[in-house]
Copies of this chain bind each other. A is one copy, B any other.
């Protein structure tokens, strides 16, 4: 993180710097907080220069989400490379507890699902993850319909977990407590 801050040291900014700063803002304060003037202040310039890089605020949002989506897909591909489906699911669950930034952005995008630019991105990412889960559950022996439902249940649990922990702080992310929770989730959702 702080990608934006470090670049801000340099005298001049590129489009990539603005995109990184946009993701920082989204992660910290959500999509509605991504506004041109506040972001410009953050990057120590005025908004006058922003419009050299992007036509509109929406263009920046689109570009930033594109970056994030690519990053999210790469992370998925890594896990998908694990052969044993049970091991793959475990790794997926465990990673959810870590990688704060990626999940911060995901959580922020969840809260902006009604936004016309955010929605198609989330639709694609969610569908990929659901397919991923469904396939894994099939490979551990569940029927098609059961695998689909279990995938939906798992994904819903993931989404709700993010919402509750990252936003509400229901539990204060005590690492060992989190680990125990993840173990419970795995033993409940992954058939033996």
Contacts and interface: CB of A to CB of B under 8 A. Distances in A.
Interface of A: 29-30, 32, 110-114, 119, 122-123, 126-127, 130, 145-146, 149-150, 152-153, 155-161, 163-164, 167-168, 170-171, 180-181, 184-185, 188-189
A74 to B, nearest CB: 22
A97 to B, nearest CB: 13
Nearest to A168: B113
B111 A170 contact: no
A159 B114 CA distance: 16
Contact of A180 (B112, B145, B160, B184): B145
A123 B169 CA distance: 9
A164 to B, nearest CB: 6
22 contacts: A32-B32, A110-B163, A110-B167, A111-B113, A113-B163, A119-B168, A123-B168, A126-B170, A130-B170, A149-B180, A149-B181, A149-B184, A150-B188, A152-B164, A152-B170, A153-B188, A155-B164, A156-B157, A156-B159, A159-B164, A160-B161, A160-B163
Contacts of A150: 184, 188
A164 B161 CA distance: 13
